[in-house]
Amino acid sequence: MSHFLFIRNEASIPLNLREAFSAPEQRIVIRRSPNEAQSAIKRGAFDMIIIYAESGEKIMQRHLRDIRETREDVFTIVLVPEYSLASETTAFDEGADLYFAEPVPVRTLKRLLQKDPVAEESHLSKPPEGSKYPIVKTTADTASTLRTLRDLSHILSFSLDYKAFTQHFILKLRDHISFSRIGIFLESSAKQSVVRKSTTNHLECIASLGLPTDLIDCFQLSRDVGIGKELSERPRILHRQRQTAPPFSVSAGNTEKEFAILGCDIAIPISDREGSIGIAVLNGPVTGRSFIDDELELLYVLMEELGLAIRNSRLHSELAQHGQLIENVLHSMSSGALVCGEDLQILYTNDAARRFLRIENSDTKRQVDFAELPHKLASPIHRAVEKGELPEPFEIDGPEGDGIFRVSIFPFTQKGELVLLPRPTMVIVEDFTKIEANKQSAVDSTKEKLISLIAERFAHEIRNSLVPLSTHAQLIDKKIDQPNFQASLKNSIIKETARIKRFSEQMLYMAQSSLAGSNELALAQLVEDAFDRARSQLGNSSAQLTFDNQSRSSQLKGNSEALTYAIEELFINSMQAAPDKQEIKVVLTEDEEGILRIKLRDGGSGLSSTVIEQAAEPFFTTRYTGVGLGLSVANKIVSEHGGYLRLYPRDDKHEWDVEIELPSLLIPSTR
């Protein structure tokens, strides 16, 4: 893992440079000056230092001097907003290794940052063999100390703040084992309360002794390189002088570098018995001797106990946070929520539930008693808890008869879990007063609009029918003896009364079922009769029917009058769609399953997709005459006979405008 120090007045990296610092194996520490990370620089914690010199040449010069006074060999890059020869000269005179001016070559900078400086250090000396300190035997005092350390592990189960008790743990540990420096590095918690963060391999120092604060703030371990990688691949006690990696390898170089930065000699994995959650890094005894095997084994066990305590602390924290989250969610709900325990005690009520029960908000600490629940609510809750009976959501009145409330009851059981009674139950009480009022208002409004639309359409059509009749009535005294007037009057009476009769029939078919009087029918004859009636209705003697009856013996069972009327409406629409082209093509087919199909195409331009979507809706029309019930009535009649009415647009995929599908045997529709 690479560590970089970025020096800038603001605590962020400029947008144009963020791409260069985006690698996951990089740790970027941002400080306003080198003095804020002096100890970390002095220990060689940073692979590179980048100075973003936006505050002028003098401040850049002071930063470079502070860096060189702290550590001369650290690689330093200077970035300036605008190139200046004097600034470049000053930067190199003060020890900068590279100097870039805006626009900064991001790809070049990215290559520099990704370059592994440890890999280039070919001059790494081979670590000496053997132990640095002589091994001495344990004494009686040491044995007593070890017994004390065994007892120390018991305190870890009694604290909830893992950072606090970890710090207390290492302080107590130092009283018995004389190290002068230790750091406890942990991975971030795997689970989050609300949002699960992306997993990371970085190990952050949560407790330390003898390590500079600014070093701890800047430095982290990683499972991808160095000490973290070695202990992740092979959990064990890792000695600085006993690395298993080849002495001149990159891995060995990173491990040696991290030990040197921290000033430690031993690394011990911290396990929670399920997996490694961190690393403890410490130095040897201050007396100069090495830890004996018993001490190391005990340290290993104690770190495992520490890991278990940390895991328990985190689980407790997560549980508390989840519980608080659930309480916050229930508290913020506009619906009432209450939880009833196995013994019919009310364990929880939110503010909305207390308002429903008419309990003062100021008395939030008072526990609600089950007896305070209204009978209509208490009775189903009692059956749900004691007998496991879960009713469908139901509605009740408010405690004082005001409002309408919807009640839903949910048991606290896992899916597939064996149900044991009694069981805790959660109750949700939703205020449906406004919802029901809005529903009733919407129904009333819809009724009013529908009545208004029907009255408007029929008034318009009846008025149109009465105009020619009233005109003839005004002239009847003067022209009653004229043969032409008599013929015109007769024609108007027949035509307009037929129109009014058609409107009446449409309304009757919309209001009642069309299945009454079902009998055996010849479909071909029915189609021909419907065409003749449509032609007579419109007074159109020039219309022609091209009828291809491929199943001449097709029979079906149904209401002859209703089906004829439905097909008549389709023929009327076809004749009105193309007054100049009066040829209508019809094909009748029957498949092996006894399904009859009537396909129709007129001489007009066809139906658009937009019109097809609304064509079967009542009172929809594209003409200035008619009330828009023709296709609605036809669709209703066909549907009641177990069939389907389909409309198609004029395109390459569809040859026909209308298709009716009917079963040969009457199958009443449930749609």
Q: Got the DSSP string for 474-518?
A: HHHHHHTT-HHHHHHHHHHHHHHHHHHHHHHHHHHHHHS-S-TT-
Predicted confidence (pLDDT) at residue 573 exceeds the cutoff of 60: yes
Residue 66 has a pLDDT of 93
Residue 625 has a pLDDT of 62
Rounded mean pLDDT, 499-527 = 77
pLDDT bin (cut points 50, 70, 90) of residue 51 is very high
Among 70-79, 98-107, 142-151, 448-457, which is the least confidently predicted range?
A: 142-151
- Token reading at 308: 């278990």
Instruction: Write out the H or E segment, with its range, that includes residue 76.
Output: strand 76-80
Adjacent-strand bridge partners of 410:
426
Residue 270 has a pLDDT of 93
Rounded mean pLDDT, 50-66 = 91
Alpha helices by DSSP H, 11-161: 38-42, 57-70, 85-93, 106-114, 117-120, 140-152
pLDDT bin (cut points 50, 70, 90) of residue 184 is very high
Residue 34 has a pLDDT of 92
The Cα–Cα gap between 621 and 461 comes to 13
pLDDT tens digit sequence for 95-126: 999 998 888 888 888 888 876 544 444 444 44
Half-sphere exposure of 643 (CA within 13 A, CB side): 29
Rounded mean pLDDT, 420-441 = 82
Residue 449 has a pLDDT of 74
Predicted confidence (pLDDT) at residue 369 exceeds the cutoff of 80: yes
Asked if 273 and 241 touch (Cβ cutoff 8 Å), the reply is no
Q: Which residue would you say has higher pLDDT here, 96 or 489?
A: 96
DSSP 8-state code for residue 650: S
Q: In whole angstroms, how large is the CA radius of gyration of the chain?
A: 45
Q: Which residue would you say has higher pLDDT here, 665 or 420?
A: 420
The Cα–Cα gap between 533 and 401 comes to 61
Q: Which residue would you say has higher pLDDT here, 651 or 39?
A: 39
pLDDT bin (cut points 50, 70, 90) of residue 281 is very high
The Cα–Cα gap between 337 and 381 comes to 13
- Look-up: residue for tokens 């092996």? 592
pLDDT bin (cut points 50, 70, 90) of residue 247 is low
| Closest-CA residue to 54 (of 21, 29, 18, 78) | 78
pLDDT tens digit sequence for 229-243: 999 888 899 998 776
pTM summary value: 0.49
Predicted confidence (pLDDT) at residue 196 exceeds the cutoff of 70: no
The Cα–Cα gap between 425 and 348 comes to 11
Predicted confidence (pLDDT) at residue 631 exceeds the cutoff of 90: no
Q: Supply the angle between the helices 483-511 and 630-640 in degrees, to the nearest 10.
A: 50
Mean pLDDT, the chain, integer: 80
pLDDT bin (cut points 50, 70, 90) of residue 69 is very high
Q: Which residue would you say has higher pLDDT here, 620 or 558?
A: 558
Q: Which residue would you say has higher pLDDT here, 507 or 301?
A: 301
Residue 148 has a pLDDT of 57
| Closest-CA residue to 280 (of 266, 262, 296) | 266
Half-sphere exposure of 648 (CA within 13 A, CB side): 16
Most confident of 128-142, 225-239, 287-301, 556-570: 225-239
- Look-up: residue for tokens 């009649």? 637
Burial class (CB in 10 A: 0-12, 13-18, 19+), 1: buried
Rounded mean pLDDT, 35-45 = 89
Q: For residues 616-628, b (16+ Cβ closer than 10 Å) or e, as one string?
A: bebeebeeeebbb
Instruction: Write out the H or E segment, with its range, that includes residue 328.
Output: helix 293-332
Predicted confidence (pLDDT) at residue 394 exceeds the cutoff of 60: yes
Alpha helices by DSSP H, 98-233: 106-114, 117-120, 140-152, 162-176, 213-218, 226-233
Rounded mean pLDDT, 377-383 = 91
Contacts 24+ apart (CB under 8 A), 375-380: 377/407, 377/427, 377/429, 380/407, 380/409
- Token reading at 438: 């809005």
Omega before 81 cis (within 30°)?
no
Predicted confidence (pLDDT) at residue 190 exceeds the cutoff of 60: no
Angle of CA points 642, 646, 647, to nearest 5°: 160
pLDDT tens digit sequence for 322-342: 777 777 777 788 888 899 988
DSSP 8-state code for residue 196: P
The Cα–Cα gap between 231 and 268 comes to 8
Predicted confidence (pLDDT) at residue 76 exceeds the cutoff of 90: yes
Asked if 603 and 564 touch (Cβ cutoff 8 Å), the reply is no
- Look-up: residue for tokens 């017994």? 147
Residue 125 has a pLDDT of 41
Predicted confidence (pLDDT) at residue 256 exceeds the cutoff of 50: yes
- Look-up: residue for tokens 């506009």? 334
Residue 575 has a pLDDT of 83
187 C-beta neighbours (distance < 10 Å), count: 20
pLDDT bin (cut points 50, 70, 90) of residue 517 is low
Rounded mean pLDDT, 463-481 = 81
Angle of CA points 426, 432, 437, to nearest 5°: 175
Rounded mean pLDDT, 594-605 = 84
CA 443 → CA 285, 446, 448, 531, distances in Å? 86, 5, 9, 40
Predicted confidence (pLDDT) at residue 399 exceeds the cutoff of 80: no
Asked if 514 and 662 touch (Cβ cutoff 8 Å), the reply is no
Q: Which residue would you say has higher pLDDT here, 460 or 637?
A: 637
**First vs last C-alpha separation in the chain:** 68
The Cα–Cα gap between 204 and 191 comes to 16
- Token reading at 643: 């069939």
- Tabulate helix, strand, coil % of the chain (nearest 5): 45, 20, 35
Residue 417 has a pLDDT of 58
pLDDT bin (cut points 50, 70, 90) of residue 186 is very high
Among 8-17, 246-255, 505-514, 632-641, which is the least confidently predicted range?
A: 246-255
Most confident of 375-384, 459-468, 590-599, 610-619: 375-384
| Closest-CA residue to 545 (of 481, 600, 490, 591) | 600
The Cα–Cα gap between 121 and 632 comes to 87
